[in-house]
Amino acid sequence: MTPTRPTKLGPAVLVALVLLWSLAPMLWQLYTSLRTPEALLAGTAGLTSGWTLANYAEVLRGDPPFWRYLLNSTVVGGLSTLLTLVLAVPCAYALSRRGGLLRLLVGGGLLAAAVFPYVLLFLALLQVARQFGLGNNLLALCLPYAGLSLPLAVLLLQAAFAELPVELEESAVLEGFSLRQRLRWILLPLLAPALVSTGLLVFLFSWNEFPIALTWLSRSELLTLAPAMARIAGSSVFSVPYGAFAAATVLGSVPLLALLLLFQRQIVAGLTQGAIKG
């Protein structure tokens, strides 16, 4: 009796369902952004009409223009990521080369700080902003973002450093490489996937963060994307601008999608680094 081959239809259907489930919110926002208010109220009754690009035009010609919010978020996210990585790399390296009780205590403290809900620090951070005059300053906004992202970044990079063989670094020491040279020419190139994936997590947090940006920034031209989206959603007293809000959501997602597509190989390699040995 000839053995039957396992059908591939089941896994394909499962993958399609998972993909549809994951993309459903984005597809719904895209659909909403291309419909007139009357068409949205009519539901699916009139799919052949009611399509428009006016929602995108309304968002792009705002005051300030929507691209300004994207630029502010990009600047804050980029600087926060850079500051976090600059501080996390030496900390992670030192922690990976330590052992015993000290490493256990420091790692436990970093883990507790990483999972701590930062919204509980909201009032304290607001008081700090008032005390030192850090409001309405994009550069100052990078400080709490980097501080909140640092524990997780150190833990991720510490695990990546620990996967590198110590013999590799010992050989470099015998060749006369200093610590800075070992990091620059040997260790960091090998950790490029981990650096990219960690940096992306920090960037996403800075891009989507809402309560700190809402209270630290009050000038419209300095708003990042999250509080700007809140203003768009509450711009009308008598109706909710679903179409404009959906258009802003789609436009705000484009840079992140481009970033993910650009670094997808490094991201996957960084997230799976050390998962398989042998």
pLDDT in tens, 147-206: 999 999 999 999 899 888 888 888 888 888 888 888 888 899 999 889 999 999 999 999
Helix axes 225-233, 66-96, angle to 10 degrees: 140
Domain count for the chain, please give it. Answer: 1
| Residue 123 pLDDT grade (very low, low, confident, very high; cuts 50, 70, 90) | confident
Picking from 15, 270, 31, the residue whose alpha carbon sits closest to that of residue 156 is 270
Residue 131 in any domain: the answer is yes
Q: Which two tokens stand for residue 155?
A: 């833990």
Residue 11 in any domain: the answer is no
Residue 16 in any domain: the answer is no
Residue 92 in any domain: the answer is yes
Whether 96 shows a pLDDT value over 60: the answer reads yes
By residue range, what is the domain housing residue 194? 23-272
Residue 13 in any domain: the answer is no
| Residue 42 pLDDT grade (very low, low, confident, very high; cuts 50, 70, 90) | confident
Three-state SS string across the chain, please? Answer: CCCCCCCCHHHHHHHHHHHHHHHHHHHHHHHHHCECHHHHHHCCCCCCCCECCHHHHHHHCCCCCHHHHHHHHHHHHHHHHHHHHHHHHHHHHHHHCCCHHHHHHHHHHHHHHHHCCHHHHHHHHHHHHHHHCCCCCHHHHHHHHHHHHHHHHHHHHHHHHHHCCHHHHHHHHHCCCCHHHHHHHHHHHHCHHHHHHHHHHHHHHHHHCCHHHHHHCCCHHHCCHHHHHHHHHCCCCCCCCHHHHHHHHHHHHHHHHHHHHHCHHHHHHHHHCCCCCC
Residue 5 in any domain: the answer is no
Model pTM score: 0.87
Interatomic CA distance for residues 145 and 140, integer angstroms: 9
Tens digits of per-residue pLDDT, 27-36? 999 999 998 8
Task: Please report, for the domain that includes residue 144, its CATH number.
Answer: 1.10.3720.10
Q: Which two tokens stand for residue 53?
A: 């690009």
Q: Which residue has the tokens 């990483």?
A: 114
pLDDT for 45 equals 58
Residue 225 in any domain: the answer is yes
Interatomic CA distance for residues 89 and 91, integer angstroms: 5
Mean pLDDT over residues 66-94, rounded?
Answer: 94
Whether 278 shows a pLDDT value over 50: the answer reads no
Q: What's the distance, CA 257 to chain centroid?
A: 11
Q: Which residue has the tokens 């398989």?
A: 276
Tens digits of per-residue pLDDT, 124-160? 888 888 888 888 998 899 999 999 999 999 999 998 9
Interatomic CA distance for residues 177 and 188, integer angstroms: 14
Residue 267 in any domain: the answer is yes
Please state, for a pLDDT cut of 90, what percent of the chain lies above it.
35
Average pLDDT taken over every residue of the chain: 86
**Counting beta carbons within 10 angstroms of the beta carbon of residue 39, is it exposed (0 to 12), middle (13 to 18) or buried (19 or more)?**
buried
Tens digits of per-residue pLDDT, 59-70? 888 778 899 999
Interatomic CA distance for residues 13 and 20, integer angstroms: 10
